[in-house]
Amino acid sequence: MTSKPPVRIGIRAPTNPIEIPKTRREFFKTGATLAGGLTLASGAVLPALAEGGHDHTMAAGGHENESPMILGSAELVQYGSRSPFEKSVRIPHPAGSTASPDTFGKMFHIASPIGEFHGTITPSSLHYVATTRQSYMPEIDPAKHTLTIHGVVDRPLTWTLADLKRFPSVSRLHFLECSGNRHGPQNKNVQESHGMTSCAEWTGVLLSTLIKECGLKTSAKWFVAEGAEEVKGASSMPIAKAMDDVLVAYGMNGEAVRPQNGYPLRIVVPGFEGIFSTKYLRRIKIVDRYYMNYNDYGHLTETPTDAALRYQIGPKSIITRPSGSQTLAGPGFYEITGLAWSGGGAIKSVEVSTDGGASWKRAELKSAPQRMAHVRFSCPWNWDGKATSIMSRCTDEVGQKQPTLEQVAKYWNKPYVKGYTMPGLNNSVMPWTIAQDGRITNGLL
């Protein structure tokens, strides 16, 4: 890569600068003398000003960046919303489907527009969602909701939401990822390929705090977490995980957990496949053996390898910009950026290749990597205008490395052919192909 000075894009030097009036009154006074064609003499705008009020209903102004004003409605004052110019939305997953995993015709899974995010936190309204059954969710009155922990403990206890908020709290950044977040050659963009993961700041009580309150018996080996939704979804998890870092969360990105994400209470099981992070949490049963309830049956596998690889999530990264369906404007400077995460702990390093995997360069991590959380990485790049492919790979704190699909096939002694499916959640490297005209497409086989 040649190191010519970066070309500035999107920054225009001011031409013919004019002094910006300090007040709106001053603006209107000087307005008439501004550059040609501007007429402000009509009575429609001026009377309010004559009264000295702060009426911000304004016609298009005379300055380059002047825009109509938005009325601060009660809704906007009370609970803000994004600009109407911002259009990114969640989409059904898999892309184009309306019925996953069966044919009832409702959306079960919706993917985050992760190609359009900045930083590491997923806005709550755009967090990915996976539900057990259709797009319905329970509407739970938090005043009536309780959590009970029982089973192999000294004393079963029940708490209200208010009770839970009295315990010492923690706030932690954690990613969640659906086991269906499997990228393939059919995906057009990063939302289709990697949109079933998100990262939020979760606030709540450590499950270990609550279990200690009940008094854990030594025969405890597993716990079953159960939701209050229609199917009472339940998963069994090791008690070692419960005592390590499982969070009973009522907060998400600074406010209450959203209904689609488990309002008013859920567990967050850092680094495990998303299904374990039971939403609408109502009960935790501490048990002395694996319980094989509901979701556990879905996790039943034939080999210990499959069982292990469908549990804790492996190291994974993805370039979100530039990525599939985007177009580079032309040769010059671009910041390559993306997200990296691992169920094994914090991300230690991310590398980026801009020559189809021939050489790799260490990427910058934009913030101190947190355990089991997305971290934003970036890498400066001067595109020379030639066709190429770009990709990222990462290593986590326990030394696990993100593989290419080819490496995985080789490891398991399988032929690396089109359609090869790796065991467990797909954490392989995703290449984006860049054509000479700047168009970016899926770079998988």
Partner 1 sequence: MVSFRLAAVALLLASPVLAETYGIGRQTTPEELKRLDISIGPEGDELPVGRGTVKDGEALFEEKGCVFCHGEQGAGGSAPALKAEKGPEAPIWQRGRILPVRAPFATTVWDYIYRAMPLGIEGTLTADETYAITAYLLYVNKVIPESLVLDKESLPKVKMPIGKNYADLPDWKPKTPRLKGYPY
d(CA 265, CA 282): 8
The size of the interface with partner 1 (CB under 8 A), counted in residues, is 74
Least spacing, CB of residue 183 vs partner 1, in Å: 15
Specify the 3-state DSSP secondary structure of 115.
helix
Structure tokens at 312: 């804790």
Structure tokens at 264: 């008013």
Q: Is 213 in the site for partner 1 (CB under 8 A)?
A: yes
Least spacing, CB of residue 343 vs partner 1, in Å: 7
Least spacing, CB of residue 310 vs partner 1, in Å: 9
Least spacing, CB of residue 180 vs partner 1, in Å: 16
Q: Which amino acid is at 142?
A: P
Least spacing, CB of residue 254 vs partner 1, in Å: 24
Which of 169, 326, 389, 407 binds partner 1 (CB under 8 A)? It is 407
d(CA 337, CA 321): 5
Of 167 and 333, the one with the shorter C-beta distance to partner 1 is 167
Least spacing, CB of residue 139 vs partner 1, in Å: 16
Residues 264-279 as b/e (b if ≥16 CB within 10 A, e otherwise) read bbbbbbbbbbbbbbbb
Between residue 376 and residue 395, which ones bind partner 1 under the rule CB under 8 A?
A: none
Taking a C-beta distance cutoff of 8 angstroms, is the pair 320, 339 a contact?
Answer: yes
Q: What are phi and psi of 16, to 5 degrees?
A: 45, 60
Which of 57, 97, 219, 305 binds partner 1 (CB under 8 A)? It is 305
Which of 399, 421, 437, 445 binds partner 1 (CB under 8 A)? It is 399
How many CB atoms lie under 10 A from the CB of residue 11? 5
Q: Is 49 in the site for partner 1 (CB under 8 A)?
A: no
How many CB atoms lie under 10 A from the CB of residue 45? 15
Structure tokens at 53: 């009020």
Contacts of 77 (CB under 8 A, 6+ apart): none
Of 50 and 398, the one with the shorter C-beta distance to partner 1 is 398
Contacts of 197 (CB under 8 A, 6+ apart): 112, 114, 128, 175, 176, 177, 178, 181, 341, 374
Between residue 309 and residue 338, which ones bind partner 1 under the rule CB under 8 A?
A: 309, 311-315
Q: Can you list the alpha helix ranges (DSSP code H) found in 24-160?
A: 24-31, 46-50, 74-78
Least spacing, CB of residue 270 vs partner 1, in Å: 10
Least spacing, CB of residue 126 vs partner 1, in Å: 28
Per-residue interface string for the shown chain with partner 1, residues 170-209, x marking contact by CB under 8 A: ---------------------------------------x
Q: Is 155 in the site for partner 1 (CB under 8 A)?
A: yes
Contacts of 144 (CB under 8 A, 6+ apart): none
Of 296 and 355, the one with the shorter C-beta distance to partner 1 is 296
Which of 84, 304, 415, 419 binds partner 1 (CB under 8 A)? It is 304
d(CA 265, CA 258): 9
Q: Which stretch binds partner 1 (CB under 8 A): 19-27, 181-189, 225-233, 350-358?
A: 225-233
Q: Which amino acid is at 320?
A: T
Half-sphere CA count of 248, side-chain side, radius 13 A: 30
Q: Which stretch binds partner 1 (CB under 8 A): 27-35, 112-120, 169-177, 280-288?
A: 280-288
Between residue 86 and residue 105, which ones bind partner 1 under the rule CB under 8 A?
A: 102-104
Contacts of 359 (CB under 8 A, 6+ apart): 353
Which of 192, 226, 337, 353 binds partner 1 (CB under 8 A)? It is 226
Q: Is 289 in the site for partner 1 (CB under 8 A)?
A: yes
Per-residue interface string for the shown chain with partner 1, residues 228-247, x marking contact by CB under 8 A: --xxxxx---x-xx--xx--
Between residue 125 and residue 144, which ones bind partner 1 under the rule CB under 8 A?
A: 132-133
> Which residue from 261, 215, 272 is spatially nearest to 238, judged by alpha carbons?
272
Which of 76, 300, 435, 445 binds partner 1 (CB under 8 A)? It is 300
